[in-house]
Structure 1
Amino acid sequence: MDATTIGAVLALIGVMSGSVVAYLGKRGENATTRMNSEIDQIQEERDGLRKELGERNARIETLLNQRVTDQETIARLRITVINLGGDP
């Protein structure tokens, strides 16, 4: 083999390895982009779930307060029925 052929083969090997590196680099970039997108979606879902949980907890608190109020009303009504001579 003469020097021109060896140079051409080496250039071909360089170009092919450069192409492989560029291909793998682009795949890595795409994977990173997809991963960032997925993480953003997960964080948005988490924030939505936290909001729903806060609303649920507020509703539970309201219902518990209403229950206490209802129990107090029932107790007062029982006392009134007993005072009036009835059987609760």
Structure 2
Amino acid sequence: MDAATIGAVLALVGVLSGSAVAYLGKRGENATARFNSVTDQVQEELARAKTERDTARAELAVLQQQRKDDLIEIARLQIKVIQLGGEP
């Protein structure tokens, strides 16, 4: 083979390997972008779930306090019924 042929073959190999590197690099970039997008979505869902959990806990605390208040009122009324001579 003469020098021109060897040079052409080396140039072809260089171009093909450069194309392969560019293709794989772009695929990696796209994969990283998708991964970051999914990670952001998961973090947003986690934050929303924590907010919903905190809201549910607050509502539960209110209901528990209301139940305690109702039990106290029931006991007070039972005492009042007994004082008036009735059966609770």
1:76 aligns with 76
Give aligned-pair identity as a percent: 60
Mapping 1:4-83, distance limit 5 Å: 4-83=4-83
Question: CA separation in 2, counterparts of 1:39 and 1:57?
Answer: 27
How far is 1:22 from its partner?
Answer: 0.5
Identify unmatched segments of 5+ residues in structure 1.
none
The number of residue pairs the alignment matches comes to 88
Question: CA separation in 2, counterparts of 1:28 and 1:75?
Answer: 70
Question: CA separation in 1, counterparts of 2:61 and 2:40?
Answer: 32
Question: CA separation in 2, counterparts of 1:61 and 1:27?
Answer: 51
TM-score normalised by length of structure 2: 0.99
Question: CA separation in 2, counterparts of 1:11 and 1:82?
Answer: 105
Question: CA separation in 2, counterparts of 1:85 and 1:24?
Answer: 90
Identify unmatched segments of 5+ residues in structure 2.
none
Question: CA separation in 2, counterparts of 1:65 and 1:23?
Answer: 63
RMSD of Structure 2 on Structure 1 (CA): 0.3
